[in-house]
Structure 1
Amino acid sequence: MVADKIVLAYSGGLDTSCILKWLINKGHPVVCYMANVGQTEDFEAAKAKALKLGASQVVIEDLREEFVENYVWPAVSYGLVYESRYLLGTALARPCISVGLINCLKASTYWTIKRSHCRMAPPVRATTRCASSWPATPCCPMSSLSVQIIAPWRQADFVAQFSGRRELLQFAADNDIPVPVTPKAPWSMDANIMHTSYESGVLEDPDQEPPAELYLMTRPASEAPEQACRLAISFEKGRPVLLELEDGRKLTTSLDILETLNEIGGQHGVGRIDIVENRFLGLKSRGVYETPGVTILHQAHLDLETFCLDREVYRVKQLLKDRLADYVYNGFWFSPEVQFTRKCLDLAAENVQGTVKLQVHKGAVTVLGRSSSKAPYNADLVSMDQLVGFGPQDATGFIKIQAIRLREHQRLTH
């Protein structure tokens, strides 16, 4: 049975605005929850819109610092990249928003969550995040409350009325709901301080080039400034702690570091990708992403951790971070397997400490140098000008032992 009172994760976009009105038309009092995770949005206008549509209350919470420090920075430290290309900007924001939503739910004593999103895998991942994050928050124990999580796109009566975006647009027109899309050229956009993603509409044709006006965070690399930007990023335990700029500025707060790198990366056309990815259910989906600041951080961190980590630890870390990226993408941030994997990766990050010098120019991020007091780098041992620690005879024996299996392979195959 659906509860009478509902907390709706609200963005002010097409889906959530239509769902808000749809719920109100069914007689439900609705509290709209809006999380500020750094998206460029007029929250007061969205609040006024929700209240005009009939919401009983609108809660706006600033989660930017929480998002960066507890989700983005760990992802940078772990080197999370889904399927070698996607830096997980949306997937990382969802658990952060879910925790805020659940805390709002407890404060409002409204015990039903409505989660609006597009169809197929995203609702599965969103519901999983809400359900799994409940016991991880300061909320009351699960056993003390009866919580029902509902995704409208999986409700028969909702799907019967809305088979897709065309019906949503018509419903919006019929109910005087202003939406920032038109039937001619719609695409879905999700934005936060880490990235902006685009999908659906004209982008559903994987061979269709994205419209030039689509991009909001970055300019084309061909239009970037002729003069390169040089900077230095310092890390402690794999996390960014200091950004030093050419003009002498030194930034230390998480928001300042990421916002400034977003600006630099955006000006120089860094962080654009156009990919087809595998969703949770195995279906393929086309997505266009802009992640300028974290792309710079990712390149810097990758260089530093290769410098600082033992070879075998580094190789094990690559296996674990790829598995963790899958877990995060699929909505299991609060799962026991993620907790276990994160602890392993946190241990590896203990020695990732130092500074990386970079150049950002026309879409490229180039490492200029790196330094660390914890790197197992011995210039004497790898010098071509002197022999220290081992000699040619040691190398000869090592090569001979390594070649045994190769000789056996040749004997058996020839």
Structure 2
Amino acid sequence: MTAKPSKIVLAYSGGLDTSVILRWLQDRYDCAVVAYIADLGQGEDLELIAARAKEYGAAEVVVEDLQDEFVNDFVLPMFRANAVYEGEYLLGTSIARPLIAKQQVAAARQHGADALAHGATGKGNDQIRFELGYLALAPNLAVIAPWRIWDLQSRQSLLAYAKERGIAIPDATDKPPYSMDANLLHISYEGGELEDPANEPKPEMWQRTAAPQEAPDKPEKVKIEFEKGDPVAVNGEKLAGAAMLARLNELAGRHGVGRADIVESRFTGMKSRGCYETPGGTLLLKARRALEALTLDREVMRLKDDLMPRYATMVYNGLWFSPERLLLQKLIDEAARHVAGSVTCELYRGGVTVAARASANSLHDESIASFEEDGGYDQRDAEGFIKLNALRLQTWARRDERDGDG
């Protein structure tokens, strides 16, 4: 950036990196810094984190409970698309960043700030997600990414800087075996000893899921009710937003559901190993797809499945506020209108099995599908259907015979 900012809104987590950044911004720009703290259900003591920000010189501290907005306006719309990145990652970190960016922009406008800052490194995806969000929503605000411009390029240099300025972060002196990011949808673990894909994660790392081999030895059935593609009740209890996802996390986590250990392709071009716990999301995805199979037309399902990897990549790459994602969301939401009913899943030692499903919008017609009765289906019609579909295959085979390729 060229002009000196007058006030900066920093996405503040309370850890070593953002605490050093909070002081560094004051030292470098000699201006007020607002520490923005988003409550996304990460389970931390946010009052303590807010007090820490004040202690380290924040001119103002903003703490917002975004849990319901996170689930209702970000997680559930994404799940309507059945979005999974590279076959395994349920996008727990990716979907949180655009909401934080949106609320940082709102805080900047409210507090008269002219710049935004984050603590993401120059190697990862989060810098892109934050900044694409900032620039999509507030293109006139300056963006400061300390990891790309300062000379503190190691943990030891951060610790030295913190010591010089009286920043004492509990447990910051010991190098952790990995870094963590948590919200109501998931917990991610990466870096440290996990950087080598050959290193198995330690059993004590996992926090939201029981080890499958230690999970209850008795299956548990969970009935989820849906309206317009979204869950609205669990085992007969009406729940919404954060309460809904928390309940699914509790049920699935108890049975060891939702662990993933993957190597993914970062937007920046490198491969990265990450471990994830997404218990409620894993259960929800399984149930949603079962209900879609019952209520959506075959070609609509295939179209959604064709588009899903593109949608997931948009979320992963930070393009939540892009015109293409917004346009695609309209198609997805239209398809979800008839995805209503209930799905019963069985949870057992790390697995989710669909046991039953029912919907007033079902496209399954027993009288047609049954082997026991005709039900208006004339089986003789299948002969012409097969012949028409075989026409191109026969033509191809005859050409090969003629050319001697058979």
TM-score interval for Structure 1 and Structure 2 normalised by the shorter chain: over 0.9
> Retained in 1: the 8 A contact 2:147–2:153?
no
Q: SS where residue 373 of structure 1 aligns?
A: coil
Distance apart, 1:181 and its partner CA: 4.4
> Retained in 2: the 8 A contact 1:82–1:329?
yes
Residues 126-168 of structure 1: CA deviation (Å, up to 9, x unaligned): 111121133xxxxxxx6xxx4111111222xx1xx22233422
After TM superposition, the score normalised by the length of structure 2 is 0.94
Which residue number in structure 2 is paired with residue 138 of structure 1?
none
Q: In structure 2, which of residues 85, 90, 107 is the aligned counterpart of residue 87 of structure 1?
A: 90
> Retained in 1: the 8 A contact 2:180–2:187?
yes
In percent, how many aligned pairs have the same letter? 42
Residues 185-205 of structure 1: CA deviation (Å, up to 9, x unaligned): 342111101101111111111
Indicate yes or no: 2:176 matched with 1:185. Answer: yes
Q: SS where residue 381 of structure 1 aligns?
A: helix
Which residue number in structure 2 is paired with residue 25 of structure 1?
27
Residues 262-283 of structure 1: CA deviation (Å, up to 9, x unaligned): 1111111111101011111221
Which residue number in structure 1 is paired with residue 259 of structure 2?
272
Q: SS where residue 8 of structure 1 aligns?
A: strand
- The aligned runs of 1:129-148 (5 Å cut-off) are 129-134=133-138, 146-148=140-142
Q: SS where residue 216 of structure 1 aligns?
A: coil
Task: Give 1:61's aligned amino acid.
Answer: E
Indicate yes or no: 2:159 matched with 1:151. Answer: no
5+ unaligned residues in a row in structure 1: which ranges?
Answer: 135-141
Task: Give 1:168's aligned amino acid.
Answer: L
Task: Give 1:167's aligned amino acid.
Answer: S
- The aligned runs of 1:134-283 (5 Å cut-off) are 134=138, 146-155=140-149, 158=150, 161-174=151-164, 175-244=166-235, 250-283=237-270
Distance apart, 1:216 and its partner CA: 1.5
> Retained in 1: the 8 A contact 2:97–2:126?
no
5+ unaligned residues in a row in structure 2: which ranges?
Answer: none
> Retained in 1: the 8 A contact 2:222–2:234?
yes
Q: SS where residue 339 of structure 1 aligns?
A: helix
Count of residues in correspondence between the two structures: 396
Q: SS where residue 117 of structure 1 aligns?
A: coil
Distance apart, 1:96 and its partner CA: 1.1
Distance apart, 1:183 and its partner CA: 4.6
Task: Give 1:147's aligned amino acid.
Answer: L
Task: Give 1:237's aligned amino acid.
Answer: K
Q: SS where residue 193 of structure 1 aligns?
A: coil
Q: SS where residue 246 of structure 2 aligns?
A: helix
Q: In structure 2, which of residues 372, 375, 378 is the aligned counterpart of residue 388 of structure 1?
A: 375
Distance apart, 1:179 and its partner CA: 4.5
Residues 25-67 of structure 1: CA deviation (Å, up to 9, x unaligned): 3333211000101111111111111111111111100100110
Task: Give 2:161's aligned amino acid.
Answer: F
Task: Give 2:224's aligned amino acid.
Answer: I
Distance apart, 1:15 and its partner CA: 1.3
Q: What is the CA RMSD across the aligned residues, in angstroms?
A: 1.6
Indicate yes or no: 2:131 matched with 1:127. Answer: yes
> Retained in 1: the 8 A contact 2:19–2:167?
no
Q: In structure 2, which of residues 343, 348, 373 is the aligned counterpart of residue 361 of structure 1?
A: 348
Change (3 A) 1:33 1:185: closer
Distance apart, 1:397 and its partner CA: 1.7
Q: SS where residue 104 of structure 2 aligns?
A: helix
Which residue number in structure 2 is paired with residue 47 of structure 1?
50
CA distance in 1, matches of 2:143, 2:158: 22
Task: Give 1:291's aligned amino acid.
Answer: T
CA distance in 1, matches of 2:273, 2:172: 19
Distance apart, 1:391 and its partner CA: 2.5
Residues 238-291 of structure 1: CA deviation (Å, up to 9, x unaligned): 1111111xxxx6132222211111111111111110101111122111111110
Task: Give 1:125's aligned amino acid.
Answer: R
Residues 303-352 of structure 1: CA deviation (Å, up to 9, x unaligned): 11111110011101112222111111111111110111101111111111
Which residue number in structure 2 is paired with residue 62 of structure 1?
65
Distance apart, 1:392 and its partner CA: 3.0
Residues 347-394 of structure 1: CA deviation (Å, up to 9, x unaligned): 111111110011111111111110011121111111111112233321
After TM superposition, the score normalised by the length of structure 1 is 0.92
Distance apart, 1:405 and its partner CA: 2.1
Q: In structure 2, which of residues 97, 102, 115 is the aligned counterpart of residue 99 of structure 1?
A: 102
* Mean Cα deviation higher: 266-275 or 276-285: 276-285
